[in-house]
Amino acid sequence: AAAAYPPVLLTTSTADDRVHPGHARKMAARLQEAGHARTLFFEETEGGHGGRGDRRPQAAQTAMKYVFLQRALTAKA
């Protein structure tokens, strides 16, 4: 039987000047190619390595991460 892996959420920023967003893009693609259907990818188009400076987009991204975590922890295997 195949191993059951938990959901994965990869986040990056198009303007990240420290870690190129291509790394997260490639990782998401590889996971999906390997059959890991529960791979989610989010790319912020603004901001840099630390994200956007505006509080509302930061709050929205934090909320997205919490919703992902809550759903991952309560999902039926």
Residue partners of 38: CB distance under 8 A and separation at least 6: 5, 6, 7, 8
Q: Quote the pLDDT of residue 38.
A: 92
Nearest to 8 by CA among 69, 76, 75, 62: 69
Q: Quote the pLDDT of residue 51.
A: 66
Q: Do 41 and 49 contact (CB within 8 A), yes or no?
A: no
Name the β-bridge partners of 12. 43
Report the pLDDT averaged over residues 31-51: 87
pTM: 0.82
Q: Quote the pLDDT of residue 1.
A: 52
Q: Quote the pLDDT of residue 4.
A: 79
Q: Quote the pLDDT of residue 5.
A: 84
Task: Please report, as a single letter, which amino acid is at residue 23.
Answer: H
Distance of alpha carbon 52 from alpha carbon 45, whole angstroms: 9
Q: Quote the pLDDT of residue 77.
A: 60
